[in-house]
Amino acid sequence: MGKKVTLGLIGLGGRGIGLLKTVFLHHEDVEFAVVCDVYEDRCQEAAELIEKSGRPRPQTTLDYKDILKMEHVDAVILCTSWENHLNLAIEFMEAGKYVGCEVGGAYTVQECWKIVEAYERTRVPVMLLENCVYGRDEMMVYHMSEMGVLGTIVHCEGGYKHDLRDEVAFGRENRHYRLDNYIHRNTENYPTHELGPIAKVLHINRGNRMLTLTAMASRAAGMKEYIKNNKADDEVLMNTEFRQGDVVNTIITCANGETILLTLDTTLPRYYSRGFTVQGTKGMYFEDNQSLFIDGEEHAKDHFEWKKHWGNVEEYREKYEHPVWKKYMAEGIKEGHGGMDWLVFCDFVESVQNQSEAPIDVYDLAAWMSISALAEQSIALGGQPVAIPDFTNGMWLRRK
Ligand SMILES: NC(=O)c1ccc[n+]([C@@H]2O[C@H](COP(=O)([O-])OP(=O)(O)OC[C@H]3O[C@@H](n4cnc5c(N)ncnc54)[C@H](O)[C@@H]3O)[C@@H](O)[C@H]2O)c1
């Protein structure tokens, strides 16, 4: 057991409550002093969960500003809707509270700069709680890439390929923020699950940086058809036009010459995938069939008959499993999204305990989240390239 950390939890929808149940309440070093949501029923549900776990019942509040003044709160976790992440994070950093911020995309580049400036002014860290960076295969492939097994990395792909038609269509009933975004915006609205692990492989902000992007969106037909077939009694939605294209492709170029393809695919029938793909001069990894193709190995003779090697990543676990996952598997704890929620939370708690820099820091957060604002511009301009700011102001050249 380490030093106790006193937390405030803000945003008690699906994610906030889900994390409490599967992760937060299993960690010995944390206490929740306060929970907050604009909805009273959600505050009460969270407080009850915490109390039932044998911990003291936390305070509840509908106004996050109350927490700014609570001196005993060391850090806050923001599980709010996308449009509230960065302004809340900045206010808490100004109040001296370490921030753990759930994922999402930014709406403007200015807000990304503002959070970087808030950090540089206050030196209070913010950690983007990007759990997918801690995925088992993502970490193994990162480890292999660091060992040089895949050679010089040339191209990476990733996606958020998740059928969210019901979540979007029932947004009003479920008091969920996604619906309004899908009606009014057209962009790569959820870039960090896929970009996070890729940015680690490519050392973005640490010797490399993202330079430009170009984004294009397909037509928006999925939601309209889904609503016609599943919610025809909803007169308002039946007459609503959705701006969000069903499939959005964004190509990013990097200072060291690599390209990254991100695909958002959330309003058509499909299986779930983050499509994580890493290609180098010596081999590649492909998430959809969990396979590794390594030049010179016996399996590489079968490049035309690849199906029989699907799933061969298991053959490489022993040799290339990331040490973090080796330890985690040995300890036998498995919580939240197959373990990655637990691992990202443990890193957050440790950083708060040590008051150390966040492993996914403000520069990562700004660069990764800015992709949504920039892709929106590029799509609106017919796919024109737009520049990705250097939020490190040149420090990427030397940062480790
Ligand atoms: N990392 C992951 O795997 C993962 C999974 C699901 C969701 N998420 C992220 O978690 C966040 C929340 O998602 P969700 O599905 O729970 O959404 P949700 O809409 O169900 O919950 C968001 C909650 O935040 C509250 N909220 C918004 N503004 C607030 C404010 N100013 N003060 C207090 N409360 C406020 C809302 O009332 C709502 O209850 C999003 O950023 C989402 O992208 C991450």
pLDDT tens string 105-149: 999 999 999 999 999 999 999 999 999 999 999 999 999 999 999
- Nearest-angstrom CA–CA distance, 395 and 400: 10
Q: Is 310 in the pocket of ligand 1 (CB under 6 A)?
A: no
From the alpha carbon of 11, which atom of ligand 1 is closest? 24
Q: Can you give the pLDDT at residue 334? A: 66
User: What percent of the chain has pLDDT above 90?
Assistant: 96
Determine the pLDDT at residue 90: 98
pLDDT digit string, tens, across residues 143-182: 999 999 999 999 999 999 999 999 999 999 998 889 999 9
* Residue from 102, 181, 274, 360 to probe ligand 1 pocket by mutation (most atoms less than 8 Å from CB): 102
Q: Does 18 contact ligand 1 (Cβ within 6 A)? A: no
Residue percentage of the chain with pLDDT more than 70:
99
DSSP state, residue 309: G
Nearest to 364 by CA among 159, 134, 147, 133: 133
Give the CA count within 13 Å in the CB-facing half-sphere of 234. Answer: 16
> Is any atom of ligand 1 closer than 6 Å to the C-beta of 68?
no
Task: Look at residue 400 in the predicted model and tell me its pLDDT.
Answer: 87
At residue 337, the pLDDT reads: 67
- What gap in Å lies between CA 369 and CA 207, rounded to an integer? 19
Kindly state the average pLDDT of the residues 369-397: 98
Q: Is the CB of 119 under 6 A from ligand 1?
A: no
Asked if residue 177 has its Cβ within 6 Å of ligand 1, the reply is yes
Residue 283 near residue 309 (C-beta atoms within 8 A) = no
Residue 52 alpha carbon to ligand 1 centre in Å: 23
Output the residue whose Cα is nearest ligand 1's atom 25.
11
Asked whether the predicted pLDDT for residue 213 surpasses 80, the reply is: yes
Ligand 1 contacts CB of residue 207 (under 6 A) = no
338 touches ligand 1 (CB under 6 Å): no
Residue 330 buriedness (CB in 10 A; 0-12 / 13-18 / 19+): exposed
pLDDT at 210 over 90: yes
Using the predicted structure, report yes or no on whether residue 352 has a pLDDT greater than 80. yes
Torsion of CA 389, 192, 112, 177, to 10 degrees: 140
Of all atoms in ligand 1, which is nearest to the CA of residue 12?
39
Spell out the residues 6+ positions from residue 229 whose beta carbon is closer than 8 angstroms to its own. Answer: none
Pairing of strands 259-265, 247-254: antiparallel
pLDDT at 331 over 90: no
pLDDT over 90 (residue 333): no
C-alpha span between 250 and 99 (Å, rounded): 29
Ligand 1 centre and the CA of 16: distance in Å? 7
CB 79 within 8 A of CB 19: yes
Mean per-residue pLDDT over the chain, rounded: 96
pTM tops 0.85, yes or no: yes
CA-nearest residue, atom 33 of ligand 1: 37
CA of 388 to the centre of ligand 1 (A): 26
pLDDT for the residue numbered 2: 84
Output DSSP code: residue 203. T
Q: Give pLDDT, residue 1.
A: 75
